[in-house]
Amino acid sequence: MFLLQANTTALFNVADLQLIAPELILTVCACLALVMEVILPYRKSKLVAWFSLLGVGLAFVSLGLQWWSVADSLPLDGFYGMVRIDGFALLFKAIFLVGAALAIAISTRYLDIEGEQHGEYYALVLFATVGMMFLACGYDLIVLYISLELMALTFYVLVAFTKREKRSNEAAMKYFLLGAFSSGILLYGMSLLYGIAGSTNLGEIGHSVAAIVSATPLGEATGPSLRPMLLLGMIALAAGLFFKIAAVPFHMWAPDAYEGAPTSVTAFLSTGSKAASFALYARIFIEAMNSMRADWAPLLGLVAAITIMVGNWAAVTQENSKRLLAYSSISNAGYLLLGLVAGNSYGYTGLMIYLLVYTLMNMGAFGIVISLRRRGIIGDNVDDMAGLAQKAPGMAAMMTIFMLSLGGLPITGGFIGKYFLFGGLLQRGAAEGKSWYYWLAGWAIINTVVSFYYYIRFIKVMYLGDRIADDKPLALSPALQTALGVSVAGIIFIGVYPQPLINLTQKLIAPLAAIGAVALK
Amino acid sequence: MENNLLSLIIFAPLAGAAINWFLGRRLRNEKFIGVIACGAVAVSTVVAFYLAFKSGGALRSTEPVFDNLWTWIQVGKFRADFGLAMDRLSGTYALFVTFVGFLIHVFAVGYMQKDQGFYRFFAFLNLFMFAMLTLVLADNFLLMFVGWEGVGLCSYLLIGYYIDRKEAGDAAKKAFITNRVGDWGFVMGIMLTFFLTGSISFFDKPAQGVTSALQTIAGMSAVDPFTWHAIFAGGVTSIAILLFIGAAGKSAQIPLYVWLPDAMAGPTPVSALIHAATMVTAGVYMIVRCSAIYTHAPTAMFVVAVIGAATALFAATIGLAQNDIKKVLAYSTISQLGYMFLACGLGAFTAAIFHVITHAFFKALLFLGSGSVIHGMHHEQDMRSMGGLKKYMPITFATMLTGWLAISGIPIFAGFFSKDEILWRTWSAGTFSLPSPPWSKALWFIGALTALLTAVYMTRMMVMTFWGSERFREKHVDHVDNASGIHDDAHHDDHAVHEPHESPWLMTAPLVVLAILSTIGGFIGVPYALGSLAGLHPTNYIEQTLGPVIAKVPGGKTESEPAAAEPIWLSHPPQTTDSAPAFVSLDETAASHSAEEIHGERLLALVSVAIAVLGIVFGWIIFRRRPLLALPRILENKYYVDEIYDATVINPINAGSREGLWKIFDVGVIDGFLHTIGEVVLEGGRAIRHLQGGFVRAYAAIILLGALAVIGFFAYYGVHAMRLLP
C-alpha cells in the first residue's frame, strides 16, 4: 500500500484493488500457507488446512461484502477493462469458494491416509481457486488465458500429488500433455480473435464480431470477408474449451486423470475446474461472440448431444467408482452445455444452479468414496460399497441422496438444475420456432434415464449388496462429515425450496440473459 | 388481520416432536420427554385461546386471523400459500383440538411410563398435533391436504406403535391403505375445484391477490339440480361427492370405515386423541369448511345424510356385541361420526360441529377411562375378564359414569344437547337435500334407533366393566379373544391374579377435567326451545359463533342466529366463562322462534330423553343379570365385512397384480423392453470403452480428428449452420 501511494504515477487506480479483494486475500493466504509449510513440523501440517479454510472463509466474507456494497452499481470494470465484476462473476466466485472449502475439508483425512500431508497441497488448491475466480471476472483474453493456465498448472501438480503412486503420475502426465495440446488450440483461437478485432477486450471483440457478422448477410457472396477467419477462431476456441470441460470427443483425458488423481483432487477437478471452464465459455461465447450464435449454437448442441450419450453409456459399464463418476462428470458437462445452447434466462439460470448443485453433489459423492479408502486398500470399486447401509447407514443415506440428485430426481437440487436447463431449451425452441431444440431436450432426458442405471447401482450395492466389505470403521473425520452434511443440506434445501436461489440467480444473470435473448433472424 | 403468533400454534408441537426425536432418544428421560411434549401442546393451547378470545380475535370478529408464511407454490394461475387462517370455524376447532390434545398428552405420560419407545411415542404424538393443526388452520385446500396426509401418516405410525406385534402393523397398513382410497377422492375434489374456480384458497386475500374458491362457488347463483346425473357431471356436485369420499375415508364412514376398529391396536391415548377426538372428525371439518359447496349440491348432501345415518345404525349394532372394551368404543365412534354426517347432509352444519365438540369431550373421556381400566387391569381389555371394578377404581368409574350418561343422551350432560339438536334438525329438515318429506322422518327414525342402541351398548359396557362379579379372579380361560390381542407379553409370564388398581393422578386428572366438560360442555349450545323451558333465555353460543361463517341451505330451515355479525355475548361479555353460560341473562329475540316450532322441538327432546332412559334401563335389566350374554354371531363378527372385502376386493387385486401385472406385464412387457434397451446401451458403452486405450498419442489423435471434423463441417456447409437444422 505504501509503495502504491508513493508512486503517484501508478498506472491503475488503487480503488480497483477492492474489486479483486477476494482474490487478493486468497493469494496472500496461499503464499502464507507455503511459508507455514516450511516453518511447521510435518505432523502439524494439518494446521495449514485449517488456515486455508480460514482464507477461503475470509474470501467468502469479502465477496459477500462486495456483493452487499456494489450490488446496485454492477457491472464494475477495473484495471482498464481487464476485470469486470458483475452478477455472473460474483455467483461463479461463490460457487468456486464453496467448492474450494469442501475440497479442503474432504482432503485432510485423505492426505493422512496417503501419507502425503503437505501444506503446499492446500496452497495449490488456493492458487487454483484464484485462477478460477479470475476466469469468472476476467474481461480480457490475456487475463483469461493467464488465469486458465494458473488453474491448469496447479491442477497438473495436484493430480500428481501422491507422487509415490504410479497411477497418479501417469494421470498427471496425460493430463498435462493433452492440456498443453488443447491450450495451444485455445490460444490459436484467441490469437485469431485478436487479429480480427484488434483488441483483447471482450466487449470490443463483441462489437467487431457483430460488425463482421452483420456485414455478411446470410447466403450472399459479398467478396472477401473476415467471416471464415472468425469461424476458424470460434471453432478453435470451442475446441479448446471442449477439452477443458471434457466434452466428447475431447474428453479422453478425463477418465484416466480422474481415476489416477488423488480422490480429493478428482473431486475438485471435476467440479471447480469444470465450473471455471464454463465461466470462461459463457464469458467468451456470450459477451464476445453472441452475434455468431447461429454458428456456435448448433455446434455446441451437437457436441452436447454426443457428450451426454457417450458419458452416460460409457459409465454404465464401469466398475471403478472414480472412473464411473468421471464419465458421469462428462455427461454432466453435456447437460451444462445445454444451458449455453439455450442462451436465455432459463438456460443460464439452469447453468448456474446446476453448477452449484453439481459442485455439492459431486464433492459429496467423492467424499463418500474417500471415506471408504484406507491405507493399502483403494476402496475405489463400486462393489466396495457393498453393505455400506449396514455398516454406516448415515453414509449410505447421504450417498443415496447424492446419487438421486445426480440423476435429477425431484426434491433434490439436481432436479431443479436439470429442470431449468431443459426448460431453457424448450423456451428457445419456441422462441425461434426451431424443433431441433426439442429433439435435443428429448435426447437429454432419455439419456438421463440411462444415467439412473449406474447411479442407482450404487444404491443397490449399498443396500442390497450381500457382502459387507469389511467391518473396519470408515475413515471419517469431523471435517469430512461436516462437508458431507453441508452438501446434503444444500442439495435438499435447493430441491425443496429453490425459489430464493432462482430469484437471486435470475437477477444476477439478467444482463447476460438480455444479450443471449436477442432472437436470431 | 395478520398475526404471526398463529404459526406458533402449529410449530410448537413440531419443535416438540423434533426435540423428542433427536434429544429425547439420547436422554431416555421420561420426565424430560413428557415435559417437552406436554409443554409444546400447552403453548399451542395458550396461543390458540389467546388468538381466539383477545380483542379482535378470531372468535370475536368476522375477520379471520391470517398468518401468511410464504408462497409455497406458484405456477401460472395456480397458487398455494403456506398460509394459516383462524376464522370462527377453524378457531373453534383449534381450541378443542389443542385443549383435549393437551389433556390426552398428560394422560399419556402416565399411561406410557416405562415403555421402551417413550420418546418415539411422544415425538409422533406431537407430530400428529402439528399435522392436525395444520389441517385445521390451513387457508387453502392444498395445505389442508398436507395436514390431512400428515395426520394419516402419524395415525399409521402410532397404530403400528407396538412394532413387535404383527396385528398392529397390519392394522396400521389397513388404516393407511383405506385412507388412500379416500385421499384419491379428496385430491380429485381439489383438482376439480381448481378447474372450476381457478383457486384453491378458502379465503379472499386481496393483499396476495387471492380469491376464495368457496366464495366463487357461493357466487354461482344456480344450485345444481337434485338429480343423480349431477354427480358425474363434473360440476359442484361432483366436487362435493369427491370431497365426501375423502371425508368418508378419514372419518370412517361406510364403506371405508373398516380401518378404525382395527386401529385400536395402537396405544389407548392414541385411540382417544386420533381415533376419537380429533383426526376422525377432520372429515366433518372439511365438509363444514366446504359448506358453500355442499349447499349448492343437494344430491351430494343427500348422499352424505344417507351414508351418515346408515353408518350410525350399522356401527351401533356391531358395537352391541363386541367384547373388547376399545372395540365397543371404536364402533361407537363410527356411529357418532355417522350422526355428524347426517347433520351435515341435512344442512345442520353447526349441529355437526357442536356434536364434534361434545363428542371430543365425552369420547376422549371414555377412551381415556378405558385406558385407565386397561392400565389398572394390567393390559387386559376383554370385558369378559373384568367386572366389579368400581370398587377398585373409584375415580375412573365416576368419570366414566359422566361419559356414559353424556353419550347416552341424558339431559344436562353434553351429549344430550348436541345429539338432540341433530335429531331435531333431522326431523324438521326441509326438502332441499331430500327427495321427499317422509325421508326426514325416516332418517330421524334411524337416528332415534341408533340413540336407543347407543344407550344399550354403553350400558352393557359399563355394567360388564364396573359392576357384577369380579371375573378377573377366575382362572384365565383361554378365550378366543376375537383378534383384538393387545396383550402385553410382559404381563403374561405369570398367570397369577393381579389386583386391579386405580391409576396415578397424571391419568385421573385429565379424566376429571374431561368429565367436567362432558357434563357442562353442552351449555354452549342450548337451543332456545329448551332454555326457555327452564325460564332462562340462554344464548346458543355455538350457533352464534359459527353461523356467520357457514353457508345456509337455501329455502331450508334457517338456523336461529341473529342477523348481527357480532355475536351478542361478545358485545356484552358474560361474567362467567363459557363453561357456565346458562346464568347470563341475555335476551334472545323470541320472535325468531315460532311457538309451533318451539313446541315441536320440546316434544322431540322429550322423546329423545325417553329413548335414552329406555335404552339404559333395557341394557341394565339384561346385562346386570347376565353380563356375558351371548349376542348374535353376525354382530360379533361385524357382519363379516372384512371377509367380504377380502373376497371381493383384496384377493382379486392381489391375484390380478400377481398373475397379470407382475408375471405378464411387468416381466414380459416392461422388463423385455427395458432389457433390450439396456443391452444396446451396454454394448455401446463397451464400444466406447475400447476407444479408451490409455495411450496419449491416441487421445491426441482423437482430439485432432474431432477438431478437424468440426472445421470440415463448417468448411463444407459454410456459415449459418443453423439453416440446416429443423
- For the segment B403-427, the average pLDDT, to the nearest whole number, is 90
Q: How many CB atoms lie within 10 A of CB B481?
A: 16
Find the helix or strand (DSSP H, E) in which B86 lies.
Answer: strand B78-86
| Residue A336 C-alpha, separation from nearest chain B C-alpha, in angstroms | 20
Q: Which residues are bridge partners to A381 per DSSP?
A: A320
- For the segment B199-215, the average pLDDT, to the nearest whole number, is 85
Residue A78: pLDDT over 80: yes
Confidence band for A380, pLDDT divided at 50, 70 and 90: confident
- In this prediction the pTM is 0.69
Of residues A439 and B469, more confidently modeled: A439
Q: How many CB atoms lie within 10 A of CB A304?
A: 27
Contact check, Cβ <8 Å, B725/A238: no
> What are the extents of the domains in chain B?
6-490+501-530+630-636, 637-685, 693-726
Top residue of B689, B703, B704, B723 to mutate, by most chain A CBs within 10 Å, is: B703
Residue A518: pLDDT over 70: no
Contact of A185 with chain B, judged by CB distance below 8 Å, is answered with yes
Confidence band for A492, pLDDT divided at 50, 70 and 90: very high
Confidence band for B485, pLDDT divided at 50, 70 and 90: very low
A:B CB pairs within 8 Å: 99
Q: State the Cα–Cα distance between residues B180 and B187, nearest whole angstrom.
A: 10
| Residue A32 C-alpha, separation from nearest chain B C-alpha, in angstroms | 37
**Residue A220: predicted pLDDT:** 55
- For the segment B272-291, the average pLDDT, to the nearest whole number, is 91
- For the segment A409-419, the average pLDDT, to the nearest whole number, is 91
Residue B291 grid coordinates: 359448506
**Residue A222: predicted pLDDT:** 56
Q: Which residues of A touch B79 (CB under 8 A)?
A: none
| Residue B681 C-alpha, separation from nearest chain A C-alpha, in angstroms | 6
**Residue B593: predicted pLDDT:** 64
Q: State the Cα–Cα distance between residues B642 and A101, nearest whole angstrom.
A: 60
β B65-75/B78-86 pair status: antiparallel
**Residue B559: predicted pLDDT:** 43
Q: Which residues of B touch A228 (CB under 8 A)?
A: 719
Between B682, B688, B700, which is nearest A310 by CB? Answer: B688
Q: Which residues of A touch B688 (CB under 8 A)?
A: 310, 313-314
**Residue B690: predicted pLDDT:** 78
Q: State the Cα–Cα distance between residues B44 and A180, nearest whole angstrom.
A: 67
| Residue A490 C-alpha, separation from nearest chain B C-alpha, in angstroms | 19
Contact check, Cβ <8 Å, B678/A299: no
Q: How many CB atoms lie within 10 A of CB A429?
A: 19
**For a pLDDT cut of 90, what percent of chain A falls above it?**
53
Complex-level ipTM: 0.78
**Residue B222: predicted pLDDT:** 77
| Residue B94 C-alpha, separation from nearest chain A C-alpha, in angstroms | 28
Contact check, Cβ <8 Å, B703/A181: yes
Q: What is the pLDDT of residues A99-151, one digit of tens each?
A: 999 999 999 888 888 888 888 899 999 999 999 999 999 999 999 999 999 99
Confidence band for B648, pLDDT divided at 50, 70 and 90: confident
Contact of B554 with chain A, judged by CB distance below 8 Å, is answered with no
Residue A470 grid coordinates: 469389511
Q: How many CB atoms lie within 10 A of CB A498?
A: 19
Q: State the Cα–Cα distance between residues A249 and A272, nearest whole angstrom.
A: 21
**For a pLDDT cut of 70, what percent of chain B falls above it?**
89
**Residue in B with minimal Cα distance to A240:** B707
Q: Which residues of B touch A171 (CB under 8 A)?
A: none
Cis-peptide, bond into residue B255, ω within 30° of zero: yes
**For a pLDDT cut of 70, what percent of chain A falls above it?**
93
Contact check, Cβ <8 Å, B689/A256: no
Residues 6+ apart with CB under 8 A from B666: none
Top residue of A156, A313, A425, A499 to mutate, by most chain B CBs within 10 Å, is: A313
**Residue in A with minimal Cα distance to B715:** A228
Contact check, Cβ <8 Å, B696/A235: no
| Residue A386 C-alpha, separation from nearest chain B C-alpha, in angstroms | 22
Q: Find residues 651-710 of chain B whose CB sits inside 8 Å of chain A.
A: 678, 681-682, 684-686, 688-689, 691-692, 694, 696, 698-700, 702-703, 705-707, 710
Confidence band for A49, pLDDT divided at 50, 70 and 90: very high
Q: Find residues 313-332 of chain A whose CB sits inside 8 Å of chain B.
A: 313-317
Of residues B430 and A230, more confidently modeled: A230
Confidence band for A247, pLDDT divided at 50, 70 and 90: very high
Residue A187 backbone dihedrals phi, psi, to 5 degrees: -65, -35
Contact of A196 with chain B, judged by CB distance below 8 Å, is answered with no
Between B691, B700, B722, which is nearest A298 by CB? Answer: B722
**Residue B586: predicted pLDDT:** 40
Q: Find residues 395-454 of chain A whose CB sits inside 8 Å of chain B.
A: 434-436, 439, 450, 453
Contact of B595 with chain A, judged by CB distance below 8 Å, is answered with no
- One-letter amino acid for residue A458 of the chain: F
**Residue A175: predicted pLDDT:** 92
| Residue B136 C-alpha, separation from nearest chain A C-alpha, in angstroms | 24
**Residue A258: predicted pLDDT:** 92
| Residue A144 C-alpha, separation from nearest chain B C-alpha, in angstroms | 22
**Residue B625: predicted pLDDT:** 84
- Picking from A134-143, A218-227, B50-59, B137-146, which range would have the lowest pLDDT averaged per residue? A218-227
According to the per-residue pLDDT averaged within each range, which of B216-220, B327-331, B491-495, B583-587 is highest? B327-331
Round the average pLDDT of chain B to a whole number and report it. 84
**Residue B106: predicted pLDDT:** 93
Contact of A229 with chain B, judged by CB distance below 8 Å, is answered with no
**Residue A282: predicted pLDDT:** 92
- Picking from A22-31, A66-75, B38-47, B463-472, which range would have the lowest pLDDT averaged per residue? A66-75
Q: What is the pLDDT of residues A174-232, one digit of tens each?
A: 999 999 988 999 999 999 999 999 899 999 999 998 888 887 665 555 556 778 888 88
**Residue B116: predicted pLDDT:** 84
**Residue B369: predicted pLDDT:** 92
Q: Find residues 78-137 of chain A whose CB sits inside 8 Å of chain B.
A: none
Sign of the torsion formed by the C-alpha atoms of B478, B479, B482 and B487: negative
- Picking from A297-301, A422-426, B18-22, B382-386, which range would have the lowest pLDDT averaged per residue? B382-386
CB A93 within 8 A of CB A137: yes
**Residue B389: predicted pLDDT:** 87
**Residue A469: predicted pLDDT:** 54
